[in-house]
Amino acid sequence: MHVLWFLLVEKKVSDELKEALVIGISATALFDLTESDKYFKQQQASNPDQAIELYREYMFARENDLLEAGTGMPLVEVLLGLNRFAPTGAPLIDVVVLSRNSSETGLRVGYNIKKRGLGIIRSIYSSGDSVVPYLEPFNVDLFLTTSVEDAQSVIDSKLCAAAVLQPKPVQAETFHKDEVRIAFDGDAVLFDDSSELVYKTSKLEAFIEHEKANELVPLAEGPYAVFIKKLGVLQSRLADLGMGTCVKTALITARSAPAERRVQNTLRSWGVNIDTVCFLGGRPKSGFIRAFKPHIFFDDQILHLEEASKYIPSGRVPYSSDSKLNSIIKED
């Protein structure tokens, strides 16, 4: 009887989350754990044999201390706020904490989640092991992490999109409190890296000719294609609930005419509608990102992220390990 009850509950939870947008986030992306991380590294250097135990004691003594928000907090808060529109038992958003930290850190993180009133009930603390294997059983659509290693593993696994966030909390400009805003770069983020590879190896003229010749050929999906489509599902669910303008997206790309036509045709073929599309023709992105005021901006190039991250939470999208762009960047 107990087994049957458990299976029925498990199925009910699974059904309720089937259409939910699932965000996985590391503890260090959700909260600023810079101080505790610094302490652990100091102990590793001076007391390597006792570092783990000393760190546990350190976190145990501070388990009820408040933590500052991490880079991913603005996005998490505004997304979870959408659940107030959800029908009973069918959440729009589910957030899971997936952390390499120990369970002692988990107590402190859990305390701060409760103090902030975040509706996060699921978590994994792996005590140093990779958390990437847990993304698939949680059906994670997007993983936000400060670990370059984990972000790379997720991109390589093609399970979901991954971002390496700036490790320090961002003093962001005023966000839209009741409206989720997310901005993306195009090539190597929403789309695959094939066109960017043409640009890097053959420069602008060849890139423009290549895109003109292929303007009716949709670009292949990049690491964030599935996520942008899932955001479209969320927008449709909100529209059905009479809340159609609560989620807005932006594409902010260095492309310009005539190379923009392939992008537009690709999005149409995917059935994806992006609210704001900026074709900048090489102009710096930072001012346009600040004008849109997203809760997070995703790009593959550090050049664009360094300036944007001073004002807006930003995440780097690593190239897959087998991408030819990796060797080109090393040569540059």
**CB 253, CB 280: distance < 8 Å:** yes
To the nearest whole percent, how much of the chain has pLDDT over 70?
Answer: 91
Q: What is the pLDDT of residue 16?
A: 58
Q: What is the pLDDT of residues 290-327, one digit of tens each?
A: 999 999 999 998 888 988 888 899 999 999 999 988 88
3-state secondary structure of 112: helix
Question: In CATH terms, are 2-165 and 180-331 the same topology?
Answer: yes
Confidence of residue 53 (pLDDT cuts 50, 70, 90): confident
pLDDT at 248 over 70: yes
Q: What is the pLDDT of residue 170?
A: 62
Distance in angstroms (rounded) separating the CA atoms of residues 271 and 263: 12
Delimit the domains of the chain by residue range.
2-165, 180-331
Q: What is the pLDDT of residues 191-211, one digit of tens each?
A: 999 999 999 888 888 999 999
Confidence of residue 6 (pLDDT cuts 50, 70, 90): very low
* CATH assignment, 180-331: 3.40.50
Q: What's the pTM value of the predicted model, to 2 decimals?
A: 0.90
Fold held by 2-165: Rossmann fold (3.40.50)
Confidence of residue 17 (pLDDT cuts 50, 70, 90): low
Q: What CA–CA distances, in Å, run from 282 to 157, 213, 253, 256, 312? A: 31, 21, 8, 8, 20
Region of residue 192 (left: phi > 0; alpha: psi -120 to 50; beta: else): beta
Q: What is the pLDDT of residue 8?
A: 36
To the nearest whole percent, how much of the chain has pLDDT over 90?
Answer: 61
Distance in angstroms (rounded) separating the CA atoms of residues 259 and 254: 10
3-state secondary structure of 248: strand
Q: What is the pLDDT of residues 103-119, one digit of tens each?
A: 878 899 999 999 999 99
